[in-house]
Amino acid sequence: MGLHMPRGTLIVCLLIVGALALLPLLESRYLIDLATEIMVYALFALSLNVIIGFSGNVSFGHAAYFAIGGYVNAILLTTYGWPLWLSFPAAVVLSALAAAFVAYFCTRLTDIYFAMLTLAFSMLVWAIAFKWRSVTGGDDGFVGVAVPAFIDSRVPFFYFTLVIVTGSIALLWTICHSAFGQALVAVRENLTRAGFIGVNTRMMRGLAFVVAGTFAGVAGAIFAMYNRGVYTESAFWTESAQVLIMTLLGGMYSFFGPAIGAAVLYILERFANEYTEYWPTVAGLILLVIVLVLPEGLVGLARRIGARLVRRSGA
Amino acid sequence: MDMLLSNPTFVLIQVLNSISLGMNLFIIAAGLSLIFGVLRVINFAHGAFYMFGAYIMFTVAQEAELGFVTGVVAAAAGLAAIAVVVERGLFRWLYDKEHLMQLLLTFAIVLLMGDLAKIIWGTDQLSVSYPDALRGATDLGVTFYPTYRLMLAVIGPLIFLGLWLLIERTRWGRLTRAATQDMEMLSALGINVPMIYIVIFVIGSALAGVGGALAAPINSPTPGMDATIIVECFVIVIIGGLGSLWGSFVGALIYGFVFNFGSVIVPNWQDVFAFLLLMAVLLVRPWGLYGKPEREGH
Amino acid sequence: MTPTMRITAAAAALFAGGIGAAQAEIKIGVLYPTSGTGAVYGVPAMQGHDMAVDEVNAAGGVNGEMLVTFARDTKLKPAAAAAAAKELITKDNVDVLVGGLSSAVGLAISEVARQEGVVYIATIPKTIQMTTTKLHKHVFRTSSHTDFEGDAMAQIVAQLGKTKLCDIQLDYAYGHDLAAGIEKGLKRHAPDVEKVIDLRSKLGATDYNAQITQILGTGCDVVTSGLWGSHFVNFAQQAQPFGLFDQVVYISGGEIASHEIAGRMGKDYPDNVWSNTYELWYDHTVPAHEKFQADLAARAGTKETAMWPVLAYIGVKFIAAAAEKAGSTDADQLAAALEGMSIDTPVGPRTIDPETHQADTGQFWGPMVRKEGVDYRVMDPVTYIPAKID
């Protein structure tokens, strides 16, 4: 793994970004909204995968950083009237700091205990958002976010999201494929051995957590403006579970897998909602398929099919 | 708050409240902990099992009017049956997989059982009557206290004793404890380990069913009741120590006391309190008060 | 728009599945929770919604146009509700939004309606913000709100001549708002009542023993509360053995006089409860109610019917009346038609205030009593307390 993206992947990425850039020409408000929402969730899921796919821990509380990014950006823009170029970075920095704080404690633990502690911290964030009504609006939500005029309509906001999300994903890719990323994979593969060869495993896992929290904050900050509102549920554990399912559906052992998982799950959910009130059943069945048949997600499946095709054509 | 300082009867009542709440939760949490102890699976669906217990109680005792005890037995039997299906049909494929996959599987069961309950029992909030013998209050000399609550406070320790005897004093219990230490060794000795797994899963799940059935008269069967209880159970078993019977017992009592006295002393913050307690335990003693520290990389 | 752009736009709409609908219809986007915890309310609400749509269409529609429903599950989550509301507008091209349940979901849908310039009629949410600080020209509310509800409760406290009051609410938006509404009402109607203690339980709480025993310890003679649904069932079941309902009169908002609760609790429903409801299946004070209830019963397949359908039903009837008056489905014209509009409903006439966009939705209040030959509690006497604060 080096810092150069394989040519094929690079071309596909450029094509996707290009296609997205041309999307508004179709003049479908629906598609623009859908694309904006999917981009946000894709970034959210990719960020979680830095913890799961690269450092091998499972966070059950990733929604906390998404929510912090959203609340901070919304409150600074609206209550304090900050300009976007200050409020947005501040939101991201605070998400990162919160993640660093939690990481300091959580990285003492592994496995199930790590997961439980991340869950507990996220529920604390939820409780604060819920109780601190004068600032966050409590469970009424923080409604009516003051979105800056230059992105206060559908298409400009879409381009804003496209630029930020593309930039963030590029940055994430670079981080994950740097020496740091390779060290993380070593940590995931074998915690004890990585320790022996001189990797400070706790520090590495902590940094991965911070990177993940930072980009979750970016996604949350965008989403707050997109919805013109932030709600306590965005920090609730069910949101953490949803993004976890997105990540695993796409495939945690591939960089782009979670983004694909986010897109597929989100579209499926929206689609199912038109025809059935039994979305939980649909989601439950998807999970069963992941667990029993596709532990490496959709990307794993694609690779398996690809490998089989290659073998067949070779023979 | 003032009442705590000035009124000893009030304190006594809060103590009883704490114990009866803790004991009802213990019955459910013990099942969760027992299953983890042997199968090494944290069963997210344990809350859904509890919910089914409450709903079965409603059908048997309230609708069919077959009586309270029949309701409890039916809930235990119903959940035992569900447990066999779930263990044989799903769990056994995943024992050698990562914890994450096991957790996701149990989460899938949560989603499916929630919709199943909606199909069977609809979306109303239901209501289950107290059994006639346990309606009303009992005179404790200094105060009256709800009879049903007293019954819970007695049944909890009885179940604890039963489980303790089963695990500590029978041959089968010794095998089970051995299974928590070294399955391969047991298999090599010709012990039917899968059988141990099934039986433990059935007992643990039946406890969730019994807990739900017993809770039904004070906890209306309703969609979403599984989400509340599972969080409470997690807090309890982590505080007490995953896999430890004593841990669930003490953890449930601690939770009962924190919740009740918290409601009186720092109203509105009792649930935050519970989470802080959970964090403190995880940080200082992640394996819980009665658990054993595990070796790295399990 | 150039012709080529028009074609691409049409293609896009086709791709999105949003085209092909005939012009002669009025599209209603309806948003209730039909899965999870909120399904308790969303599922019966949808029944009332569908019934109203069928009635309007059977009578020839509105100005010859049929009503068509596009339904989405809000899952009781505000962000999901907002996404669904946007989708209804941009993909299904609905002319109007209706529904909502919790405060947050109601406000989230209202925010989408503001952005997109589509009329939204809130049929269940009670948060006072919707028609005050967060009011905009396209949002209307046909349910009651917490100031009306709290005022009615204070009137009952005064009427019963109670003096020491305990308040217990759920610790979330509706509970806080109702507590504030009661507080304001007490100042108007019963300024001498002493508020002894404010108790809060968390939303979804199942154990109320700590609160129950505190109320008993204070010696209150009246309890005001907004514990709804299963919260009330649990509270009542736990409080009865303590004898709480022998000691206090329990005055409750949250519609626990509705048949959903009274019917389910049967003989377990406690004594000394006064509560409210939008509709009672057995009360035909308003003549039109008899037919409404019979139709609903036929639809539900039970003699007794739930309360929530009527709220969704009224929402649809307002849409139909507004579309007829406006002669158009243009959002601004619909909004103009709704301002000051009056319609007759199965539970009495309703008028939407042109300023606040709030309907004058009062509620039926009364004590819940045992009745010969009926195995559940009924409200008797039934008193309509109008939505009026003076």
Token output for B266 = 């720092």
Residue C282 lies in a domain: no
pLDDT at C39: 86
Same domain, yes or no: C193 and C78: no
Chain B contact for A287, CB < 8 A? Answer: yes
Q: With CA atoms as reference, report the closest residue to A250 among A241, A242, A260.
A: A260
Total domains present in chain C:
2
Is residue A274's pLDDT more than 80? yes
Q: Which of C13, C83, C107 sits opposite A141 (nearest CB)?
A: C107
Residue C197 lies in a domain: yes
Q: Which of B3, B115, B260 sits opposite C217 (nearest CB)?
A: B3
Identify the band that residue A166 occupies on the pLDDT scale cut at 50, 70 and 90: very high
* E strand or H helix that includes residue B87: helix B68-89
Mutate to test the interface with A, among C50, C90, C101, C134 (most CBs of A within 10 A): C90
Count other C-beta atoms under 10 Å from residue C286's C-beta.
Answer: 16
pLDDT at A314: 65
**What ipTM, to 2 d.p.?**
0.92
- Which positions in chain B touch A108 (Cβ < 8 Å)? 283, 286
Q: Are C128 and C151 in contact (CB under 8 A)?
A: no
Same domain, yes or no: C211 and C171: yes
Q: Which of helix, strand or coil describes residue A70? A: helix
Residue C349 lies in a domain: yes
Tell if the CB–CB gap between B144 and C243 is shorter than 8 Å. yes
Is residue C3's pLDDT more than 50? no
The residue with tokens 């103009």 is C336
pLDDT at C14: 44
Q: Which of B7, B21, B144 sits opposite C209 (nearest CB)?
A: B21
Our CA-based measurement puts residue B229 at a distance from the nearest CA of chain A, in whole angstroms, of: 14
Is residue B298's pLDDT more than 50? no
- Which positions in chain C touch B257 (Cβ < 8 Å)? none
- What is the mean pLDDT of the segment spanning A246-261? 92
Chain B contact for A58, CB < 8 A? Answer: yes
Q: With CA atoms as reference, report the closest residue to A21 among A10, A35, A41, A34.
A: A35
Helix and strand numbers, DSSP H then E, in chain A = 14, 2
pLDDT at C2: 46
Instruction: Please indicate whether residue C1 or residue A38 has the higher confidence score (pLDDT).
Output: A38
Cis peptide upstream of residue C381 (ω within 30 degrees of 0):
yes
Token output for C110 = 């209202």
Residue C390 lies in a domain: no
Q: Which of B125, B215, B264 sits opposite C40 (nearest CB)?
A: B125
Same domain, yes or no: C375 and C323: no
Q: Which of A112, A191, A291 sits opposite B297 (nearest CB)?
A: A191
Identify the band that residue B297 occupies on the pLDDT scale cut at 50, 70 and 90: very low
Same domain, yes or no: C21 and C113: yes
pLDDT at B184: 75
- What is the mean pLDDT of the segment spanning C10-19? 45
Q: What is the pLDDT of residues B232-262, one digit of tens each?
A: 898 899 999 988 999 999 999 999 999 899 8
pLDDT at A175: 92
Mutate to test the interface with B, among C215, C233, C260 (most CBs of B within 10 A): C233
Q: Which of helix, strand or coil describes residue C234? A: helix
**Which residues share a beta bridge with A229?**
A143
pLDDT at B143: 86
pLDDT at A3: 63
Tell if the CB–CB gap between A27 and C5 is shorter than 8 Å. yes
Same domain, yes or no: C254 and C381: yes
pLDDT at C23: 52
- What is the mean pLDDT of the segment spanning B56-72? 95
Tell if the CB–CB gap between C18 and A30 is shorter than 8 Å. yes
Q: What is the pLDDT of residues C236-295, one digit of tens each?
A: 999 999 999 999 999 999 999 999 899 999 999 999 999 999 999 999 989 999 999 999
For A142: left if phi > 0, alpha if psi spans -120 to 50, otherwise beta; the answer is beta
- The residue of chain A nearest to residue C127, with distances taken between CA atoms, is A140
Q: Give the integer Cα–Cα distance in Å for A123 and C328.
A: 48
- What is the mean pLDDT of the segment spanning A17-39? 95
- What is the mean pLDDT of the segment spanning B125-137? 92
Mutate to test the interface with A, among C32, C47, C107 (most CBs of A within 10 A): C107
Q: Are B23 and B252 in contact (CB under 8 A)?
A: yes
Same domain, yes or no: C248 and C381: yes
Q: Which of C35, C42, C213 sits opposite B17 (nearest CB)?
A: C213
Is residue A121's pLDDT more than 90? yes
Q: Give the integer Cα–Cα distance in Å for C311 and C304.
A: 17
Q: Are C257 and C215 in contact (CB under 8 A)?
A: no
Same domain, yes or no: C139 and C261: no
Residues of A with CB under 8 A from a CB of C: 25-31, 33-34, 37, 130, 133, 138-141, 143-144, 223, 227-229, 231-234, 270, 273-274, 277-280
Tell if the CB–CB gap between A270 and C90 is shorter than 8 Å. no
Listed in order, strand segments (DSSP E) in chain A are: 142-143, 229-230
Q: Read off the CATH number of the domain in which C273 is found.
A: 3.40.50.2300
Same domain, yes or no: C139 and C154: no
Is residue B120's pLDDT more than 50? yes
Domains and CATH numbers, chain B: 2-284 (1.10.3470)
Is residue C4's pLDDT more than 70? no
Q: Are B216 and B54 in contact (CB under 8 A)?
A: yes
Q: Are B212 and B53 in contact (CB under 8 A)?
A: yes
pLDDT at A36: 97
Q: What is the pLDDT of residues C137-179, one digit of tens each?
A: 999 999 999 999 999 999 999 999 999 999 999 988 899 999 9
- Which positions in chain A touch C172 (Cβ < 8 Å)? 130, 138-139
Identify the band that residue C228 occupies on the pLDDT scale cut at 50, 70 and 90: very high
pLDDT at C205: 86
- Which positions in chain C touch A223 (Cβ < 8 Å)? 79
In chain B, what's the furthest Cα-to-Cα distance?
64
Cβ partners under 8 Å of residue B3, min gap 6? B10, B264, C214, C217
Q: Are C296 and C312 in contact (CB under 8 A)?
A: no
- What is the mean pLDDT of the segment spanning B121-128? 91
Q: Which chains touch C (3 or more CB pairs under 8 A)?
A: A, B
Instruction: Supply the range of the domain harboring residue C201.
Output: 147-277+364-385
- What is the mean pLDDT of the segment spanning C176-197? 94
Chain A contact for C136, CB < 8 A? Answer: no
**In Å, what is the CA distance from B93 to each residue of B96, B194, C248?**
8, 12, 57
Tell if the CB–CB gap between B118 and C35 is shorter than 8 Å. yes
- The residue of chain B nearest to residue C209, with distances taken between CA atoms, is B17
Query: b/e for B155-193, b at 16 or more Cβ within 10 A?
Result: bbeebbeebeeebeeeeeeebbebbbeebeebeeeeeeb
Q: Give the integer Cα–Cα distance in Å for C341 and C323.
A: 11
Is residue A22's pLDDT more than 80? yes
Using a cut of 0.80, tell me whether the model's pTM lies above it: yes
